[in-house]
Structure 1
Amino acid sequence: MKFIWIDDESKRKKSSDNLRTSLRFEGEKEVTIDFIDVFKKDIDNILLEVLKGDEPDLVILDHGLTNAETNTLKKGSTVSVFLRETWRNCPVICVTSSDIEELDSRIKSTYDLIIPDNHIDDNLGNIISIVRGFSSLKSNPPENTNDLVKFFNVPKDLEQDFLKILPHNIKTDFSISGYVSELYQWCRDVFFIRPGFLYDRIWSSTFLGLNEQGFDSVEPKFEKAIYNGVFFNSDIKLWWKDLLLEIVNDYVDDVGFPWELGAQLVESKEELISKCSITGERFPETVAAEDETESSNWKPMKLRETIPHSKYDNILFFEELRVMNGL
């Protein structure tokens, strides 16, 4: 793997060395990081020279390039756009000391990942998943929807529904410039984050009628449901909802709601059963936000205690996202 790190803070050279060491510890032995210090240097000419070289597996940028000499490229976001005019499918990560929530959505969209500069090691799984995913798609680009289904390892019974949710350009125009970047951003912003096809830990446990401790106790039974397709992150597990249901039905010889069947896996022990965070009742039907702020906590709740979340549109085949009622 070859990375390029462009920064106007010399002290981050140590961060790049630490990242290389951490990635090697994670099994990525062949990692080189070319740290390019642009402090008081003409970044415009430096970038032109960089683009003469081979496309790297990843570009890492400082967002605030205030100490570089330039007339136009004053932010990492503009550098990202400039580089991608040539390297259309090169992943770009931003490392910043700025408050990420304060960044404009247009700026955020120029990066594939934004990392606080003091949390780089916490994002190793993200970095690896992005680099591996881009690399696999670039080395063996999909030519049709069957190829996409294989890249995502979609369960057979879900293939048609999966194809229906893909953006039109992603499933019809495989030769568009920047195809891999568009596919990744859809995964990041929709497929991985919106519960429906895939569930995170809290959605999975609630679906099976268990609290997180209860789900931890039976998690090995559901290993085959873990998502392991393109861009999978080993640090943030996701499970195919349909495979969770299929597996719990294999283990429990009974008929009922998924949460009723899941509870039987732990002998319906009360301390392992999912409870509504508001009323304390067993078997909440959904996971909802406590408020509509971006940093809100999401917790199991009875459906009647929630209302539709105003900041999320409904999407075909995905769960309706909801928020606690009475705000």
Structure 2
Amino acid sequence: MARFLGRRLLVAIPVLFGVVVLVFLILRLIPGDPAQIVLMGTNASPERVAQVRHQMGLDQSWFSQFVIYVGGLLRGDLGYSYISHGTVAAQIGSRLPSTIDLAAAALAVALIVGVPTGIIGGFWPGSIGDKLATGFSVLGLAVPYFWLAQLLILLFAVDLRWLPALGVGGPTALILPALSLGLGFAAIITRILRSALIDVYQQPYIIVARSKGLSNWHVLTRHALRNATSSVTTIIGLQIGNLLAGAVATEVIFGRPGIGNYLVSQIQLKDIPSIQGIVLFIALCYIVINILVDVSHGMLDPRVRKAWAS
């Protein structure tokens, strides 16, 4: 385990370094003076522009700027927003709980809907339940989540008036955003789990287990499902990044004060330091989540654990 984690961290370090370099270059490669872009709309004097350039370190060489930038990141400093007048880390921290709530609720919807549907399709291939599961997976992948969000608002908030359409204020305000973001993820889980179960049920050890007289439930829960969920775990980790990306549009549509909504507002305001900090934070989350997924994959699949020891 320790050797495996060490290898994964060694792989993650250059990836994270590459992301840091790209984020650093965002501010330096955009057309115009970054200080003037940051102060756009404030009628700033030349002295104020020069002061911001000095505060941002733009009057130094690129190498010196990069060293200072990396040094700040190592201290947890993601930059300072001259529009919000606060640190980017504090702005992200104040909005992170809302995004976590949305991502967790969407993941719960995906698991609650996708896992049973995938089991039905994989356990009874060719049945009516399998056809319904396949149809759901195709429809869920074909419908964009932002379009589904608007349909849910029209049906449940405007026509039926059962649920609120905007803002926060309790579990009911989370239902529509979680459904719009989680159902597409559920369709992916359904397709992956169905295919994995169909493949597992053709393996020799399943045939042996059935020949011993084990019940279908025992074979499913103790043998088939455990081996099939390893691929589902991997896909969940890969889709977490999509959940974060989907949260951007979902939070804007439903007016939730999360990181995604904050990112869009800062893009409109051309707040480059905030955009840099948010992009870097999301990339770091994606890298950490993928490492955790690799570890959980090995815990579920003995073959991966055996590869770790080699």
TM range (shorter): under 0.3
Which of the two has higher C-alpha Rg? Answer: 2
**Structure with greater strand percent:** 1
**Structure with greater helix percent:** 2
Larger relative contact order (CA 8 Å, sep ≥ 6) = 2
TM-score using structure 1 length: 0.23
